[in-house]
Amino acid sequence: MSLFRLDASILPATSASRSLGDLVEAEWLAAHPDSTVVRRDVAADPVPATAWQDAVTAGFTAEADLSDGQRSATALARGFADELVSADALLFTVPLYNYGVSQHFKTWFDLVYTDPRTSPTGTALRGKPATLVTVLGGNYAPGTPKEGWDHSTAWLQRVLADVWGLDLRVVHRPFTLVGVNPALDEFTDLARQIHAEALSAADEAGRVLAKAS
């Protein structure tokens, strides 16, 4: 058995998304001891920004005319797709940055989306069990002053669940900056409650992931 885990935090030492991901992973490993975890840290080891256009243009370039960049980008995409296709379960931990999706995750996704198996017409990931952990410094829930400003979570769900067809469970923890940013001090109790719920949700997601894989 194998679990593919992708992390995207740019601050791994203090990462809330990685901590929640660790709980998911621990539950999965408890059910599948002696299994492999394949790790990809897209913040520590970013995908080159030029790889995507090289891989896209390789798709309509004759084999004999391919540049070195196009060949290596296509090979990189193939390797990333291999990691997804060969895993029994998938775990993604992706924070919100600048009101949008992590650039590192987007760059990885765009590239892997050029491989035929994980492309718009690929079906290789359909039904594969997966967990998405996503964390936000603020809180953009309905009724909050900045409702709708989280342009990451819905997109992540769209591409993972609707486009790839993963059997996706989401662990969502807003307000990670409460206790860090004094302007958010009034939300201390609410943030504590949200954190506790996220910890339980991560444990549960790990158990569900383990059972489904």
Which residue number is nearest to ligand FMN in terms of Cβ?
Answer: 137
Q: Binding marks (x or -) toward ligand FMN, 27..56, rule CB under 6 A?
A: ------------------------------
By beta-carbon proximity to ligand FMN, the closer residue of 11 and 30 is 11
β 100-101/89-97 pair status: antiparallel
- Kindly tell me which residue out of 4, 5, 18, 105 binds ligand FMN, with binding defined by CB under 6 A: 18
Q: For the CB of residue 85, give the shortest distance to ligand FMN in the complex, in Å.
A: 27
- Kindly tell me which residue out of 3, 6, 16, 56 binds ligand FMN, with binding defined by CB under 6 A: 16
- Kindly tell me which residue out of 51, 130, 135, 202 binds ligand FMN, with binding defined by CB under 6 A: 135
Q: Rule CB under 6 A: is residue 84 a binding residue for ligand FMN?
A: no
93 with 19: CB under 8 angstroms? Answer: no
Q: For the CB of residue 58, give the shortest distance to ligand FMN in the complex, in Å.
A: 32
By beta-carbon proximity to ligand FMN, the closer residue of 14 and 200 is 14
Total of residues contacting ligand FMN (CB under 6 A)? 17
Positions touching ligand FMN (CB under 6 A) are 9, 11, 15-18, 95-99, 135-138, 176-177
